[in-house]
Amino acid sequence: MENFVVSARKYRPSDFNSVVGQQHITTTLKNAIKNNHLAQAFLFCGPRGVGKTTCARILAKTINCQHRTSDFEACNQCDSCLAFNNNASFNVHELDAASNNSVDDIRNLVEQVRYAPQQGLYKVYIIDEVHMLSNAAFNAFLKTLEEPPKYAIFILATTEKHKVIPTILSRCQIFDFNRILINDIALHLKYIAEQEKIDAEDEALRLIATKADGALRDALSMFDLIVTYSSGNRLTYLETISNLHILDYDYYFKVVDSLLAGSISNVLLIFDEILKKGFDGNNFIVGLSEHLRDLMVCKDPATVDLIQVSESARDRYLMQSQQASVSFLLSALNICNQCDIQYKASKNQRLHVELALMKMSKLPQALTLAALAQEDSKKKG
């Protein structure tokens, strides 16, 4: 049996151009290489799984590459690049500060920095989770960071910039990594699915992308998990929701249809079904609010792009939003919001949600009455 390599490793970008969603950083780094204007200390900040370590390694590889391309990318063919790609290069040192945070660890590193590289131009030191270094370790590091030998480059990475002491911050060029957009993640997953010959439904990929909350690594792990769980070369929306334990958005459409029809009984039955499937009332209300919000932004062509759903789902949203009035959506959102806020404090949480649903089903009627009364008073006035 072939060894299974997780997608996050298999598809780690090998040059700047293939890094997703961090153009502001990759372009700046490439320009610095082009103009020979490279800083010696960098701080890469940002949420987990968005490409900090990846970019640090690409930078290390690119500046040591013997035949950089005309686009200032690593060639991925020379001895140095090959050594990097096989994790065998002597010119890159990675220190995980989460587990090596003592003064001694840093002293070791500082000691190594004194030796010039045997091959290649630069020695690159990547210190991950740098905010975990002890104070004493930080202090032992400061002097080297301030006056490193010219062949040494430091790339510090952290998910918690606010915990990095100012003396370090002021000595580094700081790069803030973005959370990656749902769209970009979904496209990247689509690319990987194609490479792996997996027949994936767009909606499934989009759902994974949404759930990943900006972290590409998380998206890739979820993707792997669901593919392994399913038959292996198909990835469907239904399998994805059951795997990630997400409520099918179909339910929200049904709930809103029933609310618009003023049918309390229907809505209560649907909610019962949802609870029976093991979903939590609070999550349901939050999900319903998001659904109402999506319907709301569909009301205006100017905001329609704010919904982050696949093309096929989009038409469904547009249709339902046509049926609901802005006043209905606003009032329903309000009721959901109140329900969510008071949920934790409520003694009977099921009833609490049911009450909110009942109130919402009465909205269409109440709004019609209010409109009639207004017209009436206009006529009289």
What residues contact residue 381 under an 8 Å CB cut-off, 6+ apart?
none
Which residues, 233 to 292, sit near ligand ATP by CB under 6 A? none
Please list every residue from 134 through 193 that binds ligand ATP, using CB under 6 A: 157, 159, 180
Residue 130 exposed, middle or buried by CB count within 10 Å (0-12, 13-18, 19+): buried
* Residue 212 binding ligand ATP, by CB under 6 A: no
53 binds Mg ion (CB under 5 A): yes
- What 3-state class would DSSP assign to 220? helix
Phi and psi at residue 87, to the nearest 5°: 55, 35
Count of residues near Zn ion by CB under 5 A: 5
By C-beta, is 12 or 316 nearer to ligand ATP? 12
* 111 vs 105: CA distance, rounded Å: 10
| 142: contact with Zn ion by CB under 5 A | no
**Residue 62: both structure tokens together:** 């690119």
For residue 176, which amino acid is it? Answer: D
Size of the site for ligand ATP (CB under 6 A): 23
Cβ at position 48, least distance to ligand ATP in Å: 3
Residues 8-27 that bind ligand ATP (CB under 6 A): 8-9, 11-13, 19-22
Please pick, from the candidates 14, 25, 45, 51, the single residue that binds ligand ATP as defined by CB under 6 A: 51
60 counts as binding Zn ion under rule CB under 5 A: no
Q: Give yes or no for residue 217 binding ligand ATP (CB under 6 A).
A: yes
- Within 8 A by CB and 6+ apart from 227, the residues are 196, 198, 233, 235
Q: Minimal CA–CA distance to 290: which of 272, 274, 308?
A: 308
| Ranges within 73-132 binding Zn ion (CB under 5 A) | 74-75, 78, 81
Residues 6 or more apart whose CB falls under 8 angstroms from that of 354 comprise 268, 271
We find the least distance from the C-beta atom of residue 128 to Mg ion, in angstroms, to be 5
Residues 253-282 that bind Mg ion (CB under 5 A): none
- Closer to Mg ion by Cβ: residue 215 or 336: 215
Residues 6+ apart with CB under 8 A from 76: 14, 15, 82, 85
Residues lying near Zn ion in the complex (CB under 5 A): 65, 74-75, 78, 81
